[in-house]
Amino acid sequence: MDRLCILAEDDGPEALPPTGMALEDPNGLLAAGGSLRPDWLLAAYRRGIFPWFASGQPILWWSPDPRAILLPAEFRCARSLDKRLRRGDFELRVDAAFGEVVRACATVPRRDPGTWITRSMTAAYEALHALGHAHSVESWQDGELVGGLYGVCLGGVFFGESMFSRRSDASKAALAGLVELSREHHIELIDCQMQNPHLESLGSRLVPRRTFEGLLERWCREEGSRWPVGNPIAISGRVVQNPRG
């Protein structure tokens, strides 16, 4: 394919083309346009497609090949981070400040101009959160939010979107919390989208797109998600309350 598929806002999410039609350069760019409505986002994630675009651009949809993933069993927790978690340097919470996490991620400096977490993206993921599909894991110190991550959980897959850190190790602590939660509640796969040295150091690896989509077939078929709702959650030996309960 040498031309980008253009989608209309009033199309349904079934208009997203097959992932095999994604461009090689830039890697994984699949389509432009469409909508950030929940039905679009949920249908896209189930097929391994995610939105990523800068301010002033149309909605751009991506399915890179290869794909960065993290299996919870392969997470590498540095000894220094493990020590900090064990002595309680961070209080880890779940879904306590979802909107704050998204907005904090939007302020993280990036090499590309503008921010990809636009106001429309923020609103879209807050809508998914209200529906019980998008979630955050947060690191707190002395009552202050100092780091965290957010993403979408469908079936046994957590599709990671972004993370931020205001203190050393704060985002790593949140990821360690997500990994513990995943192990406890049988979330089998954490999608990291695009590889970078930071994620690689924590245990993420690249797999071919076809392999990734096979994992989605295996773990993302069921309705709803395995994200715990309505019960206390243990992270790093500490119990946190899930506000959605």
Question: Would you state the pLDDT for residue 229?
Answer: 80
Compute, in degrees rounded to 10, the torsion defined by CA atoms 99, 104, 107, 108. -130
> Distance of CA 124 to CAs 37, 60, 241, Å?
7, 14, 25
Q: pTM above the 0.75 mark?
A: yes
CATH topology of domain 5-64: Alpha-Beta Plaits (3.30.70)
pLDDT tens digits for range 47-61: 999 999 998 899 999
Q: What does the pLDDT read at residue 3?
A: 82
Alpha-helix runs per DSSP H in the chain:
38-46, 79-86, 98-106, 119-130, 170-185, 197-201, 209-219
**pLDDT tens for each residue of 18-77:** 999 999 999 999 999 999 999 999 999 999 999 999 988 999 999 999 999 999 999 999
3-state secondary structure 72-124: HHHCCCCHHHHHHHHCCCCEEEECCCHHHHHHHHHCCCCCCCCCCCCHHHHHH
Residue 25 structure tokens: 């350069």
DSSP assignment letter at 155: B
Q: What are phi and psi of 43, to 5 degrees?
A: -65, -40
pLDDT of residue 109: 66
| Average pLDDT of the segment spanning 203-210 | 98
pLDDT at 103 exceeding the cut of 80: yes
Look at strands 189-193 and 205-207 and give their pairing: unpaired
Look at residue 221 in the predicted model and tell me its pLDDT. 87
163, 170 Cβ separation under 8 angstroms: no
The pLDDT assigned to 244 comes to 62
Summarize pLDDT for 142-196 with one digit per residue, the tens.
999 999 999 999 999 999 999 999 999 999 999 999 999 999 999 999 999 999 9
Mean pLDDT value across the chain: 91
pLDDT at 97 over 70: yes
Q: What is the pLDDT of residues 82-94, one digit of tens each?
A: 999 989 999 999 9
Q: Which CATH class is domain 68-240?
A: alpha beta
Q: Which helix (H) or strand (E) holds 193?
A: strand 189-193
Q: Where are the domains of the chain?
A: 5-64, 68-240
3-state secondary structure of 136: strand
| pLDDT of 174 | 96
CB atoms within 10 A of CB 36: 18
For the chain, report the end-to-end CA distance as a whole number of angstroms: 47
d(CA 123, CA 215): 29
Question: How confident is residue 16, by pLDDT bands cut at 50, 70 and 90?
Answer: very high
